[in-house]
Amino acid sequence: MASSGSQTKKHDNHSDHLVQPTNPNVAAMQEDVLYHFSLSTSTHDFPAMFGDVKFVCVGGSPTRMEAFAKYMAKELGLDHPGAEYPNICRGTDRYAMFKVGPVLSVSHGIGIPSTSIMLHELIKLLYHAHCSDVTVIRIGTSGGIGLKPGSVVITRQAVDASFEPVFEQVVLGKRVVQRTHLDEELVQELMQCALDLLEFPTVIGNTMCTSDFYEGQGRLDGALCSYTEKDKQKYLQAAHSAGICNIEMESSVLAAICGACSIPVAVVCVTLLNRLEGDQVSSPHEVLVEYQQRPQRLVSHFIKKRLAAAQNPLNL
């Protein structure tokens, strides 16, 4: 499927592509308070703190994103005995942020609203820091449709609960719809990284983004349930037929907001269960921990390949 017009440039053809919000009011602000990050342009030197960021990896859990930062430190050879990775957003309990070299690791909480707030402030942070050529990747968990638990899905297109490739919200009382296409070149680059590793099953497919974990995803085990097992199976089978491989709650807003700002974005999620076979996540804790590390290993390999290519662009 073709990428959206705002994301069709090749990553090696937009050198010095500065992060730029589409809101013209941001440039006119004397001070910009990123309230949910507990950061401000008047109290923090954004270019000094974040100017070298090239990769932003986001995920729901603060603990998971801290673990990813520590993992990346080892992978990039930046770890050393006694090294600490402080939470840059420690002045708030809304989000957590960690930095290791050119990699920023940020939590976004659960669902579209929390992720949207994080993205608005993240993009402004990158803008104030004069960051360029930034790639954003979500590393997370999901429910699979017709996939073995532990499979990794690289999202080609984020769709809503009606299987439409759109993100919809109401702005000033009016319905606003944005497209949710993802960068196809980035998708293929990540898939090649999975083929390099050959450590776990990985597929490219569409991802359904919902606004609810229970009824919104057709579960039978919530406090409310207005449908039958037969209804659920019919819906999930229809999703599977539409090319949907997994279900989560953040991909559409990532695709829409990053796409609007011409920031290449990808979504890489592991499946914790096959929703055609059940609703509850029941695998042992140690199995789930290993599953959650799979997107991290894939994205780490991608980052290392990108950095190596930047250091040796002619592949000499």
DSSP class of residue 133 equals S
Has 205 been labeled as part of a binding site? no
Helix (H, G, I), strand (E, B) or coil at 147: coil
Has 179 been labeled as part of a binding site? no
Has 60 been labeled as part of a binding site? no
Tokens of 309: 């290519």
CA 265 from chain center: how many Å? 7
Has 140 been labeled as part of a binding site? yes
Neighbours of 159 (CB within 10 A): 24
Has 139 been labeled as part of a binding site? yes
- The Cα-based distances of 245 to 96, 142, 144, 221 in angstroms read 29, 10, 6, 21
Work out whether the CA dihedral 87, 268, 121, 127 comes out positive or negative: positive
CA 95 from chain center: how many Å? 15
The amino acid occupying position 187 is: V
Tally of residues, the chain = 316
From CA 159, how far away is CA 245, in angstroms rounded?
Answer: 11
From CA 275, how far away is CA 142, in angstroms rounded?
Answer: 10
Has 110 been labeled as part of a binding site? no
Annotated binding-site residue numbers: 94, 138-141, 217, 219
Annotated binding-site residue numbers for substrate: 217, 219
Annotated binding-site residue numbers for phosphate: 94, 138-141
